[in-house]
């Protein structure tokens, strides 16, 4: 397959390639790197070494980070447990609660558009005899709270619903979900990896009992994350999944990644201080991209609710264009396509399918993830480039030609070879 020759000129203030895949990972903020650097070299102590100043210094840095993270989500420092990242946090939350509350019940509720770290953990528990309910989502990506209320029964011990979806950026009504859980005496966990630091989250006001977050989605380092575990009203108990020296209040043994933890703390501090201005900036970039695309292209479809959405997310289907061809045409822009990124196969994304999109529409989708270091000039170049490539590909598309001629593709009887 040849790449599409583009006529779009690169402005002087734009350098290629452009990174717009900030939901996959974010670049490390230089301020975060500066905070981390001393803990790689002269401040190298083990935070569990209580007998000398090297250990005390490391432990103090870890406790400072705990407070920085807690402040961002309205928790207390003692409620923050360090992990290697969101996948471990999700595993610890769900398996740890399932094991600890087994005598109370064996029913867990989640939704079909969760991250694989939740879905695959639940599938593992199903093999161990747990009953899992996977709630559907509406066409806008939101769950129906009535569905959730109906699904809770006397054996339900946990509801796990993500705060923001990693593909379509849709924000679930977590405060309402948490209130419903608390009324029914059920614990509420949220995978808040995409939401933390981008939209306000308060674990008390939002009725959250357990929350997963990760460093590398908020301009912190990879390989470090945290789990918030509520200590009162209710006090949540979690069975450890990794055994060893009883670190992290017995919930997660292992030598702490001090430089990573320092970086995560600093990233949370920056996010808390700059969240409002950054959200306004990213919303502006996103809306600019959306308006340019919609003004110049027909048959495009924004996936997921625009009213309940992360500031920097735009997931668009360019109907009558093959997503992989479009990606090749815009190969100087880092984005992700609506084909599953969790495997080597080109299956349409299960998240987009859950919204009721057909394979053709799901395959033609692109997720733009704008971030802290993107510029308006980059957005303008990306819009122009995408418009140019989509128009070129549609010239080659017999389906697009038929639609323009007024033919209803759904009524065509395609002959089999």
Catalytic residues, by residue number, are: 341
State the virtual CA torsion across 203, 206, 212, 218 in degrees, nearest 10. Answer: -90
Compute the distance between CA of residue 190 and CA of residue 208 in angstroms, rounded to an integer: 7
Q: How many CB atoms lie within 10 A of CB 56?
A: 14
State the virtual CA torsion across 404, 302, 350, 336 in degrees, nearest 10. Answer: 100
Q: What's the burial of 87, exposed, middle or buried (CB within 10 Å: 0-12/13-18/19+)? A: buried
Q: Which two tokens stand for residue 60?
A: 């103090």
- Nearest alpha carbon to residue 86 among 23, 128, 38: 23
Q: How many CB atoms lie within 10 A of CB 214?
A: 30
- Nearest alpha carbon to residue 323 among 308, 296, 295, 303: 303
* 3-class DSSP assignment, residue 180: helix
Residue 250 DSSP code: G
Pairing of strands 80-83, 225-229: antiparallel
Cβ-contact 372, 219 below 8 angstroms: yes
* 3-class DSSP assignment, residue 363: helix
- Nearest alpha carbon to residue 89 among 183, 227, 199: 227
Kindly tell me the sign of the dihedral angle through the C-alpha atoms of 313, 310, 267, 189: negative
Cβ-contact 223, 243 below 8 angstroms: no
- Nearest alpha carbon to residue 59 among 304, 247, 309: 247
* 3-class DSSP assignment, residue 201: coil
């Amino acid at each position: 397959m040849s790449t599409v020759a583009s006529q779009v000129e690169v402005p002087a203030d734009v350098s290629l390639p452009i990174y717009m895949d900030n939901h996959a990972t974010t670049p490390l903020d230089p301020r975060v790197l500066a905070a981390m650097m001393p803990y790689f070299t002269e401040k190298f102590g083990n935070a569990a070494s209580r007998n000398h100043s090297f250990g005390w210094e490391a432990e103090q840095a870890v406790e400072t980070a705990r407070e920085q993270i807690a402040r961002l989500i309205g928790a207390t420092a003692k409620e923050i447990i360090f992990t290697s990242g969101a996948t471990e946090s999700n595993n610890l939350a769900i398996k740890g609660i399932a094991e600890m509350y087994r005598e109370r019940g064996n029913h867990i509720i989640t939704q079909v558009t969760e991250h694989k770290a939740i879905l695959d953990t639940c599938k593992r528990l199903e093999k161990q005899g747990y009953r899992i309910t996977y709630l559907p989502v509406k066409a806008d990506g939101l769950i129906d709270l009535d569905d959730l209320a109906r699904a809770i029964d006397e054996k339900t011990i946990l509801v796990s619903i993500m705060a923001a979806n990693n593909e379509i950026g849709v924000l679930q009504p977590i405060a309402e979900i948490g209130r419903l859980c608390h009324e029914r005496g059920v614990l509420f966990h949220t995978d808040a990896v995409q939401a933390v630091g981008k939209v306000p989250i308060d674990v008390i006001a939002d009725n959250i009992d357990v929350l997963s977050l990760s460093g590398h989605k908020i301009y912190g380092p990879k390989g470090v994350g945290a789990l918030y575990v509520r200590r009162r009203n209710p006090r949540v108990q979690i069975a450890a999944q990794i055994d060893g020296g009883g670190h992290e209040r017995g919930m997660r043994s292992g030598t702490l990644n001090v430089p990573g933890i320092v970086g995560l703390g600093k990233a949370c501090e920056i996010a808390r201080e700059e969240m409002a201005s950054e959200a306004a900036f990213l919303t502006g970039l996103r809306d600019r991209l959306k308006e340019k695309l919609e003004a110049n292209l027909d048959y495009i479809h924004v996936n997921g609710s625009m009213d309940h959405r992360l500031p920097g997310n735009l997931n668009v289907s360019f109907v009558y264009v093959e997503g992989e061809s479009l990606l090749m045409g815009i190969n100087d822009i880092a984005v992700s396509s609506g084909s599953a990124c969790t495997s080597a196969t080109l299956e349409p994304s299960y998240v987009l399918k859950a919204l009721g999109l057909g394979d053709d529409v799901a395959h033609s989708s692109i997720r733009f993830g704008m971030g802290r270091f993107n510029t308006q000039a980059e957005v303008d170049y990306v819009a122009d480039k995408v418009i140019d490539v989509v128009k070129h590909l549609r010239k080659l598309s017999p389906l697009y030609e038929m639609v323009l001629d007024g033919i209803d593709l759904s009524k065509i009887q395609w002959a089999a070879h």
